[in-house]
């Protein structure tokens, strides 16, 4: 059964995966750390899979799970395609005045 997933959820996941930090991802996306955490948790809930391993303590950080690695590749493609569609449409639909 198809489920619509908002691109913001994928963008948060891609940012966290790239930065290996919820804090840095929040800065990159110009949102709060809590927002990034919530979006990633929502994506994991929708997909029914843990995408990130959250490490606590002195050597804490973020690691991708196997599912996270596979999802990251597809999420990047999906977001790139969406961006390309938007840019193409905007460039073709400029006002004529």
DSSP for 12-24 reads: HHHHHHHHT-HHH
Question: What domains lie within the chain, and their CATH numbers?
Answer: 7-89 (1.10.10.10)
**How confident is residue 66, by pLDDT bands cut at 50, 70 and 90?**
very high
Please tell me the predicted confidence (pLDDT) of residue 41: 97
How many other β-carbons are positioned within 10 Å of the β-carbon of residue 58?
Answer: 5
- Give pTM, 2 decimals: 0.87
Please tell me the predicted confidence (pLDDT) of residue 89: 85
How many other β-carbons are positioned within 10 Å of the β-carbon of residue 89?
Answer: 9
DSSP for 59-94 reads: T-EEEE-HHHHHHHHHHHHHHHHHHHHHHHHHHHS-
**How confident is residue 59, by pLDDT bands cut at 50, 70 and 90?**
low
- Inter-residue contact 78 to 91 (CB < 8 Å): no
């Amino acid at each position: 059964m198809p489920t619509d997933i908002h691109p913001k959820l994928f963008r948060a996941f891609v940012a966290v995966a790239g930065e290996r930090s919820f804090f840095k991802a929040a800065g990159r996306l110009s949102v709060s750390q809590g927002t990034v955490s919530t979006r990633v948790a929502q994506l994991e809930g929708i997909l029914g899979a843990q995408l990130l391993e959250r490490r606590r303590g002195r050597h804490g950080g973020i690691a991708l799970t196997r599912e996270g690695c596979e999802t990251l590749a597809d999420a990047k493609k999906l977001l790139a395609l969406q961006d390309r569609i938007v840019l193409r449409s905007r460039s073709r639909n400029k006002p004529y005045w």
